[in-house]
Chains A and B, each alone.
Chain A
């Protein structure tokens, strides 16, 4: 187990579910930015690789009381006792407390999939086939669409959302070229946040009180997925609907009211 340290930066994301329209642009932007592979037959969506996954939830009530909300789910980049990191036998996944980003090194991964089992959010995906820079016959020509910023994955390794870490590195290089050591808030945002048409996704440094994210997480609408596991996810959600907030964790009967009362 790695010792938790206080790092300089702690990048996190806030997703406003009241703004999310469930269009799926974040999923598409993520896949194209990160060279997420497609298979020859993508009809079985259970096996698709989606670093950013969009779930649809409803309150289960009949018309006219039906309410629907959409739930984009990237990697939560758990800050405390990161479950995937603690089980990885190959040190292929680590958390860097200087940025708070949980890394996944594909060339180091041995494909045992312990991390997949450990992840409470199902944010990790296993490559059953070579990615499309490598799988030759069906993907001929597709490699021209690949981004050089992100390495392609071979079969037999696990992959997950990296908070578009390469964008942080590019932003840093640009800052260095301009003689700055620090990057600005708007210089590093992941592809999903940039693409979101309703601007439901906000990204920034949770350690920096001037960044918008650190203000948004203080909102009474803010909650996290499976928060009571104690993994301190760095992806926050905002919702004004109480049934949405209730669905984000598991509660005993009547426990949810107690929890929310205790929080306020």
Chain B
């Protein structure tokens, strides 16, 4: 009785508001105090399950994982004294990932480039098992290594590296991360439906992007063009072919 008196609100200010708040609170209090009868448990369980499937299981099923044929160490090859004999850091990148004379980018080097140093299948330059495997399987047979390309763009995309590296003066690591310091190659994950690498499509299913190299979609190109004041390069036929 007392409670009813109070909630019916004889005070002139905010009477209806406190009634409404009381009503809502008592509604939720009933749901929480009787989780099974009110269906709260089933709802939360279903929501959690759906999120688990959608955000964890589905992405795991969507991407196939493959390891690179040889676990190449960029760190050893770019070390100043041991690795490639080039004065600058960019030069060490471009020694293998080179530009052709017509300005096109060669991308992943061919065996020929590796064999500039690793020319003798009998005498390895290092001591790792990976190098021995490389010499035995590929150099000895003169067979190209079937590398997986993390950043292969779809057919409709035209990306000139030279415009960005030479003319735009953008460092390799700005877009690709500090690969020169890594000892292991990351897993190659391919979307089973679209056949595109996870590095193109984005590492996070929510679309969250922490680094440039997490995702390389059209919006990411446009974002950088806009930020750096090259909005004229957001025209369709600049990146599409």
Show the binding face of A for B, using Cβ within 8 Å: 94, 96, 98-99, 101, 103, 105-108, 149-152, 162, 165-166, 169-170, 172-179, 181
The verdict on A172 contacting B163 (CB below 8 Å), with A96-B235, A177-B101, A177-B102 known, is yes
Where the two chains meet, the residues of B that have a C-beta atom closer than 8 Å to any C-beta of A are 99-104, 154-156, 158, 160, 162-163, 166-167, 232, 235-238, 240-241
Contact A152 B155 (CB under 8 A): yes
Closest to A93 in B: B236
Q: Nearest chain B CB to A82's CB is how many angstroms away?
A: 13
Within the assembled complex, what's the spacing in Å between the Cα atoms of A151 and B188?
Answer: 25
> Chain B's nearest CB lies how many Å from the CB of A74?
16
In the complex, how many angstroms separate the beta carbon of B33 from the nearest chain A beta carbon? 53
Inter-subunit contact A173/B102 (CB<8 Å): yes
Docked-complex contact A94 and B235, CB < 8 angstroms = yes
B155 touches A151 (CB 8 A): yes
| Interface SS of chain B | loop
Instruction: Check A176 against B102 for contact (C-beta < 8 Å).
Output: no
Instruction: Tell me if B158 and A169 are in contact (CB < 8 A).
Output: yes
Residues of A close to B100: CB separation below 8 A: 177
Choose from A99, A176, A181 the contact partner of B237 (Cβ within 8 Å). A99
Q: Looking across the interface, which residue of chain A has its beta carbon closest to that of B232?
A: A98
CB closest residue in chain B, given A97: B235
9 smallest beta-carbon distances between A and B, as pairs: A173-B103, A177-B103, A103-B237, A96-B235, A103-B236, A151-B156, A151-B155, A176-B162, A174-B103
CB atoms of B167 and A181 under 8 A apart? yes
**Residue of B100, B103, B232 with most chain A CB atoms under a 10 A cut-off:** B103
Contact of A166 among B101, B166, B232, B241 (CB under 8 A): B241
Given A98-B232, A162-B237, A173-B160, 13 more pairs with CB closer than 8 A: A96-B236, A96-B238, A105-B240, A107-B240, A151-B155, A151-B240, A165-B241, A166-B241, A173-B102, A176-B166, A177-B100, A177-B102, A177-B162
**A5 → B minimal CB distance (Å):** 10
Closest residue on chain A to residue B233 by CB atoms: A98
Contact A169 to B241, CB < 8 A, known contacts A176-B166, A177-B166: yes
Contact A177 B99 (CB under 8 A): yes
What is the CA–CA distance of A178 and B103 in the complex, to the nearest angstrom? 8
The residues of A that contact B103 with a CB separation of less than 8 Å are: 170, 172-178
Cβ-closest chain A residue relative to B241: A166
